[in-house]
Chain A
Amino acid sequence: MSELPFGPPVRVSPLIRFGRWSFLATGILYGAFHQNRLSKRETKLREIEAKEKVVRDEKLKKEKALAAAAEIKALEEMVAPKK
């Protein structure tokens, strides 16, 4: 180990190295597990949202049509007011 510029490598305590690697492994497992759980929950929510969207779109369409009709009526009255 003559070409090492910072002296011989530090002997890191086995406990610290064990801690690092075991926390890394736990983190990977936890992240994968949690990701799986959350994405499942989110797909369920997406399905519900898709169902609700159809209903809401229909409602909005009706409201829009009603509003447009009322507007046209108001305009007609403005242009040719009834005497």
Chain B
Amino acid sequence: MAGAVAKIPSLISSGLTAARPKFNIFMKYARVELAPPKLSEIPQIKAGIAKLLTSAKTGAWRNQTVKQASLNVLVGAEVIFWFYVGECIGKRHIVGYNV
């Protein structure tokens, strides 16, 4: 038991050294893929919103394959779930409101 406890610090440090390169790779992808939108991208965002609106108005959203539609639904759901992540951060509690 004492031996197992004594091994814990070395286990932690070896785990950290193993995780560091992977974390660096993650950060390289995240810098690009999760970056907040830049000011220079506002025209693209506006164009995207306009495209969404026109496809909603003209009914063009019905003319897509099931695969495209399900992917779009998943992406949309993921985007909306960020709201709940933000809510959890804002209320500083994970389940329910801690009043």
Which listed residue, A1, A11, A14, A38, touches B48 by the CB 8 Å rule? A14
- Residues in B neighbouring A21, C-beta threshold 8 A: 36-37, 82
- Residues in B neighbouring A11, C-beta threshold 8 A: 32
Report how many residues on chain B are interfacial, defined by Cβ distance under 8 Å.
34
The reply to whether the CB of B66 lies closer than 8 angstroms to some CB of chain A is no
Closest residue to B97 on the A side, CB-wise? Answer: A38
- Residues in B neighbouring A29, C-beta threshold 8 A: 86, 90
Which listed residue, A1, A5, A9, A28, touches B87 by the CB 8 Å rule? A28
- The reply to whether B44 and A27 contact each other, CB–CB distance below 8 Å, is no
Report the Cα distance A39→B84, complex, angstroms: 19
Interface digits, A14-30 against B, CB 8 Å rule (1 contact, 0 not)?
Answer: 11111111011111111
The contact size tier of chain A is 35 or more
Given contacts A23-B79, A24-B85, A35-B97, contact A18 B45 (CB under 8 A): yes
Interface digits, B61-96 against A, CB 8 Å rule (1 contact, 0 not)?
Answer: 000000000000001001110111111111111000
Interface digits, A22-63 against B, CB 8 Å rule (1 contact, 0 not)?
Answer: 011111111111110011011000000000000000000000
- Could you tell me the distance in whole angstroms from the C-beta of A76 to the nearest C-beta in chain B? 51
Interface digits, A54-83 against B, CB 8 Å rule (1 contact, 0 not)?
Answer: 000000000000000000000000000000
- Could you tell me the distance in whole angstroms from the C-beta of B98 to the nearest C-beta in chain A? 8
- The reply to whether B86 and A30 contact each other, CB–CB distance below 8 Å, is yes
Given contacts A9-B29, A25-B86, A27-B85, contact A34 B97 (CB under 8 A): yes
Listed A/B pairs (6) with beta-carbon separation below 8 Å: A1-B28, A14-B45, A20-B82, A21-B82, A31-B86, A35-B91
